[in-house]
Amino acid sequence: MTYTEALEKIHGLLHFGSRPGLDRILKLLDLIGNPQDKCKFVHVAGTNGKGSVCQMISSVLTEAKYKTGLFISPFITDFRERIQINGEMIPKQKLADIVEYIYPFVEQMAENDEIITEFEFVNAIAFYYYYIEKCDIVVLETGMGGLLDCTNTIPAPLCSVITPIDLDHTAVLGDTIEKITYQKCGIIKKDSNTVIGEQTHKEIEKQIVKDCVEKHNMYHFAEDCKVKVKLSTLDGTIVKYKGKEFTLHLVGLHQISNLKTALTAIEVLNNEHYFGITPTGIEYGIAKANNPARFEVLSKEPTVILDGAHNPNGMEAFAKSVDEYTTAPRVLIMGMLKDKDITHSLNFIDGKFDTVFTLTVDNPRTISNVELAKMCEGKFNNAIPCDTPTEAIDKALALADEIKGTVMICGSLYLAGEIRPILMNKFKK
């Protein structure tokens, strides 16, 4: 099987959508020998910051010479970003070989009307890859929620991590913060350790603590992690931690909160599981951490910044970074999915941009460029629908040149995946 054929098999399952529940994935994993039972994990759930936290933890573990698997979603430009070991994407032929092995079991289950979804299939591929490659540890990001997410088929992790929780995926996870928190807490297993990221709502924190107590879980607050910011610019943030200064290249003050969460998880691995990660390992690991489309500076002349903010909490963090690191005038390119809280999200960036160019995202759940432009009216001087990413980029760059402004992109990680390659090629980064 070729890599292209493997991707066709994987994406051919996309039309089955998301189906919460673990019965199907558990059966598939059983058919391939339950590889997840033979690995050790750090399991990360939450609404915002999951990807950045996973990247930081993974980078530090890799720097400490642990063979480290990383499972994240969605990908930005290359499908294989989702499945990595030591910062390297799964080789194309290795992916094809694993798909060739597992797909007959998917077909076998389909004959009994047990339909495996794309995410479930990708999850099985990843678990099998980490197992056959003998990973020391895997940093595992949930897809959606936690309790019924197909990553939640693992045994008790060495550490569970809950990043900031907000209203998102409400049609599936529930329409209140309490219901969503309940789903996220599903990754907390008995007699383990949980890191609680800095939450915007104290009731969320209390609910997570209650769940930890009920499951005899040691809980650790990321807000207690002593990190001091020395200097923060578009080049990164210099911080001081346990007497050492180092640079976090993920831009944005909200990344300090993510850093504290990641460092707390590393402390748990050191203190509870004797990983022996040194301050130098932390310094170099954090410095190498990279997460595309998270307030990513793609160009300095002109200044072009790409961010995947797509819900109110993420847009609030984006807005704060806009104020912190840039000055007016600014131009925005934006596309969003209609199942997000668009109105609330737009309120955070109201008036921060002169002109917004709207796009229809290449995703079935997208809101149209015209509808989004209408929702932007009154919040910016101009809201202009564009038919293609290239058109939006060209118009935004031309306007930014005219008004000596900054170009920014936000609204969806799927949009980021469309736009990033075009901009990377344009600026040859």
Domain residue limits, the chain: 3-288, 296-427
Q: Under a CB-based contact definition with an 8 Å cutoff, are residues 427 and 298 in contact?
A: yes
Span 355-397, pLDDT tens digits: 999 999 999 999 999 999 999 999 999 999 999 999 999 999 9
Span 46-99, pLDDT tens digits: 999 999 999 999 999 999 999 999 999 999 999 999 999 999 999 999 999 999
pTM for the full model? 0.94
Span 204-245, pLDDT tens digits: 999 999 999 999 999 999 999 999 999 999 999 999 999 999
Span 7-17, pLDDT tens digits: 999 999 976 66
Q: Under a CB-based contact definition with an 8 Å cutoff, are residues 166 and 200 in contact?
A: yes
Q: Under a CB-based contact definition with an 8 Å cutoff, are residues 318 and 293 in contact?
A: no
Q: What is the torsional sign of CA 367, 370, 376, 382? A: positive
Res. 21 pLDDT band, cuts 50 70 90: confident
Q: Is the pLDDT of residue 325 over 60?
A: yes
Query: Domain 296-427: which CATH class?
Result: alpha beta
- Produce one character per residue of 133-160: b if its CB has 16 or more CB atoms within 10 Å, e if not: eebebbbbbbbbbbbebbbbbbebbbbb
For the domain made up of 3-288, give the CATH fold: UDP-N-acetylmuramoyl-L-alanine:D-glutamate ligase (3.40.1190)
